[in-house]
Amino acid sequence: MLKNIKILVVDDSAVYRKILSNILETFSIVENVDTASDGLEAIDKLNQKEYDLITLDVLMPKMNGIDTLREIQKLRPETPTIMISSYTTHSAIYTIKAMKIGAVDFITKPDDNKVKSTEKFLHRELQNKIIGALYRKIDNKYLYDYEETYTVTEDHVQVEDAVNNEIISIGASTAGISALQYIIKNINAKTTKPIVIVQHMPEYFEGPLLDELKQNSKLDIQIPENTSELKPSTIYIAPGDAHLKVSKTGTILTCTIDPLSNMVSGFKPSIDVLFYSVALAAGKNSTAIILSGTGTDGVKGLKAIQKAGGKTIAQSPDSSRVPGIIIESMREKAINHIVPLKDIPKIIDSNAS
């Protein structure tokens, strides 16, 4: 059970230091919250005291969040850090870089000046993501002993089979950005089947994330703007403000953007929405992969793909920075195979060539 958690809040804004501290102090698991107004002060405090968690502003004077994170990784590499990102493209670029360096997750500051709505949003985000970041402090049998405790569900119910069409679908929460970057960078250029992805992200992350992924991908990557036929050797990523759905016309698989529907499973885009649509469109000719993150979005969709006869794969909990969604999927017996992150590109290559 989590308790007596000590947190360091690093932010150059006195207003946000106060808001974040006040929220964190209401959580029963938190014993103490310290603050630092910049990276230099944060490193000084980390030299004097150990913390269970750090929240770190991305853009700060004296020492920005990226340089501070690099120092944290040297000084306290075992301490999880959650980035606090402003609602700007510039901040998004730095946040994506921070996730690659070693941050476990990020939270976006609301794009308004209303204190009440800001506090409500941050309370929900902090509560979910702190539990996710500290998952390894929980005595959980699924975290490392899954080979002994995990059982594979065998019952498959046919929903609808596509003819000669196969598709890979991937779901990741905000904590899964670095895992997604690794996978896309290491997928073989000979991979021929289409890959559809829902990555939880704010709308303003679209451009920076797409640019980052394209730099290292051997396949074509795009964020579709409307209905598109799924092409071989192409990766399709849901935009930050719309669901991504796959459908079938005859023997042709297409993807459609749905910006009008409400959030599903707490998210838009939703992993569940994508996986449900893949189950209906491709049935047993589909493979779904769930990556690092918090919450439960994706669990129901995995079970739909599983019942349709498709394959369901989870990144192994011990290779995940935040294994919450993976463990929830395992609890629900929605996973057929558990694979270390380093081997997932090989799995995709073998299933998509």
Instruction: Pull the structure tokens for residue 301.
Output: 């969709």
What one-letter code names the amino acid at 313? Answer: I
Active-site choice (200, 272, 286, 319): 200
Catalytic-residue membership of 270: no
The 243-249 sheet, strands edge to edge: 228-229, 252-258, 243-249
- β-partners of residue 171 are 198, 290
Query: Do residues 255 and 282 touch, judged by C-beta distance below 8 A?
Result: no
Read off φ and ψ for residue 229, nearest 5 degrees: -70, 135
For residue 351, how many C-alpha atoms fall within 13 Å in the half-sphere facing its CB? 23
Catalytic-residue membership of 117: no
| CA-based torsion, 270, 272, 274, 277: positive or negative | negative
Active-site choice (297, 316, 319, 320): 297
DSSP state of 145: -
Q: In angstroms, rounded to a whole number, what is the distance separating the alpha carbons of residues 247 and 228?
A: 10
For residue 251, give Cα distances in angstroms to 162, 196, 232: 6, 17, 14
In the chain, DSSP assigns E strands to 5-10, 30-36, 53-57, 81-85, 105-108, 167-172, 195-199, 220-222, 228-229, 234-237, 243-249, 252-258, 286-290, 311-315, 337-339
Q: In angstroms, rounded to a whole number, what is the distance separating the alpha carbons of residues 243 and 200?
A: 10
Residue with tokens 């920075």: 321
Active-site choice (173, 316, 320, 329): 173
Catalytic-residue membership of 90: no
Q: In angstroms, rounded to a whole number, what is the distance separating the alpha carbons of residues 82 and 109?
A: 12
Which residues, 6 or more positions from 18, have their beta carbon under 8 angstroms from its beta carbon? Answer: none
Residues taking part in catalysis: 173, 200, 297
